[in-house]
Structure 1
Amino acid sequence: MGSHIPQTRTDKLFNVFVYICITFALLIVLYPLIYIISASISNPSYVNSGKMWLFPKDITLEGYKLIFDNKEIWQGYLMTFFYTGLGTLINLIVTIPAAYALSRKDFFGRGIFTGMFILTMFFSGGLIPTYLVVKNLGMINTVWAMVLPNAAAVWNIIISRVFFQSTIPKGLEEAAIIDGASNLKLFTKIILPLSAPIIAVMALFYGVGHWNGYFNALIYLSDRKLYPLQLVLREILVLQDMSSNNTNITGEMAQLMHSKQQLAAIIKYGVMIVSTLPVIIVYPFLQRYFVKGVMIGSLKG
């Protein structure tokens, strides 16, 4: 039987304070989620007027019906899945081998390469030179413009390098080399199976970035069939703002624009729910790897 440690009055007060802070933080996090869910199934007039501030009013599924009937939204959904899957795969193929190579003490010139990588975190060519490079490579208005310009993030390479340095036993590598394993076999047969936590973390980081990204599509894409979901959602938001700011119309046109504004508002919240569901569904399966992969470097120094 475990011994119970008695708590002093100060400990009890501190525990109460901690629970109050946690409850307050939970409410701050939950309110936007509850509001968006409620707004997606409420009458747009109540949402726009501010009468719906937490729970749904005059429940309607018209917004979700319009989403499911909108081919552009589903096309954007499909392209976002494609960009996220292909982009994350390319990111991992570049990041994990680069990080492992930089973690090896016998890698000649690793300090020079690390310095060059870090330099790019502080100095970059800028938007116009990057656009010219993408254009000269013939990637404008193609899938590759969405996945190749951001093939690796230096910060993620550094995090992965620290993981390899602090987690993979050097004795294990030396034993494999003594047994005749080549560097390629060592990496594929021993290092990768032991690197599931950091691979999951990097996949989550890169995947969320691709899923939420729209700027590359805004700059490099003009074919609507290639638009990701976030760019379609952006157009819905722009439509709503244009409708609300246009005050020079009257009569039937004004009623039509007002109707479109209301529909854009209810679609907006519905698309937010639909667009975040995949990330919410995937995260619980990667959570244990996520915590382990992020913390293990700090625990082992």
Structure 2
Amino acid sequence: MEPAVQTQAQPKVKRGKRSPVDIVIHLVLALLTIATILPFYNVLLMSFSNSVAVSKQLIYLVPTVVDLSAYHYIIQEPRFLKALLVTVFVTVVGTAVNLTVTLTGAYVLSKTGYPGRRAVMALIIFTMFFNGGLIPYYLTMKNLHLINSLLVMVLPVAVNTFYLIICIAFFRTIPAALEESAKIDGANDIQILVRVVLPVAKPMIATIALFYAVDRWNEWWNGVLFMTNVNLLPLQALLRELLTNYAQVLSSINANISLQNTDLHPEMLKMAVVVVSALPIACLYPFLQKYFTKGVMIGSIKG
């Protein structure tokens, strides 16, 4: 008769208690999170408020009224739709041009056997610290016939040197065996870049695309500098104009009576401008979030 096998009950694993240090760290992180979110929350609520509520409290935490006067003032501007379309064009076309030039240039410069690579890199890095000045810049755009052209907000900023360096660092981390195997199969350099390298670089491409899209969406300086046609101003430049000229618009004799009766508080208009200018591009973050954390650190590790 075989002896009965006695099974010992496994002791339950008790969750360790949080140490005072962990509690302090969580409290500090919670306070930092609140301190980060609070300004955005305050901006959003103040943009939907009215002049009376804004005048009573500097920090607007509890919504007491919903007033869309600030947004109505912005949207009813006749040039608003045109400016929005200009900004969408600059963002879409500009980001495409940025990615095309940056990725192709970074791929070439990442090759150690490229003749003159160091000299080219030195010239590129030089542009990070020095420029020709505003007057030569304007004269160059004038000689290229880019005044009052939407391309003036796309072509002069086709490459960001910092983003280019990030792409170069990433391309150097890709194993050379991948490209060598593709060359054995008869692929040329363009096919290797499109079919082998870029699919591996999706996190980096998504991150750089997001950076470029934000830059192009916030474009206003070139629009103000090179656009004499007010119908070609980008959205950010138009919002800036509405904000700076608000007092003159309301006090002008020819101002619309409905605008004079609106009694907009300057802070309301400022917050509404912030929301209108930031909300559309902020909607891109959820779609690229899964790539962002990995892509923003890519290339920081030296291979």
TM-score calculated relative to the size of structure 2: 0.86
* Counterpart position of 1:159: 166
Residue 101 of structure 1, aligned match among 79, 90, 108: 108
* Counterpart position of 1:28: 35
* 2:153/2:219 contact within 8 Å kept: no
Residue 269 of structure 1, aligned match among 244, 268, 271: 271
* Counterpart position of 2:199: 193
**Range that drifts further, 187-196 or 59-68:** 59-68
* 1:228 has 2:234 as partner: yes
Distance 1:186 1:122 in 2: 34
Shift of 1:239: 2.1
Distance 1:294 1:151 in 2: 20
* Counterpart position of 1:60: 67
Change (3 A) 1:33 1:100: same
Shift of 1:203: 0.8
Which structure: larger Rg?
Answer: 2
Distance 1:243 1:12 in 2: 60
Shift of 1:148: 1.0
Counterpart secondary structure, 1:121: coil
* Counterpart position of 1:211: 217
Equivalent residue runs for 1:41-190 within 5 Å:
41-50=48-57, 53-166=60-173, 168-190=174-196
Residue 294 of structure 2, aligned match among 288, 292, 295: 292
* 2:54/2:60 contact within 8 Å kept: yes
Distance 1:51 1:17 in 2: 30
Shift of 1:263: 6.2
Tell me the amino acid that sits aligned with residue 136 of structure 1: N
* 1:63/1:270 contact within 8 Å kept: yes
Tell me the amino acid that sits aligned with residue 27 of structure 2: I
Change (3 A) 1:260 1:129: farther
TM-score calculated relative to the size of structure 1: 0.86
Distance 2:146 2:56 in 1: 45
* 1:278 has 2:280 as partner: yes
Tell me the amino acid that sits aligned with residue 25 of structure 1: L
Distance 2:168 2:13 in 1: 43
Distance 2:229 2:211 in 1: 27
Change (3 A) 1:299 1:28: same
* 1:233/1:268 contact within 8 Å kept: no
Change (3 A) 1:125 1:4: farther
Distance 1:3 1:135 in 2: 74
Shift of 1:114: 0.9
Distance 1:186 1:51 in 2: 58
* 1:163/1:293 contact within 8 Å kept: no
Q: List, as ranges, runs of 4+ consecutive aligned residues in structure 1 with deviation greater than 6 Å.
A: 1-5, 255-258
Q: Which has the higher helix share?
A: 1
Change (3 A) 1:52 1:136: same
Counterpart secondary structure, 1:290: helix
Distance 1:138 1:257 in 2: 39
Shift of 1:219: 0.7
Distance 1:71 1:80 in 2: 16
**Range that drifts further, 272-281 or 185-194:** 272-281
Tell me the amino acid that sits aligned with residue 206 of structure 1: Y
* Counterpart position of 2:6: none
* 2:50/2:66 contact within 8 Å kept: yes
* 2:69/2:262 contact within 8 Å kept: no
Tell me the amino acid that sits aligned with residue 189 of structure 1: R
Change (3 A) 1:265 1:38: same
Distance 2:83 2:189 in 1: 41
- Give ranges in structure 2 of 5+ residues lacking alignment: 1-9
Shift of 1:36: 1.3
* 1:45/1:262 contact within 8 Å kept: no
**Aligned residues: percent identity?**
36
* Counterpart position of 2:7: none
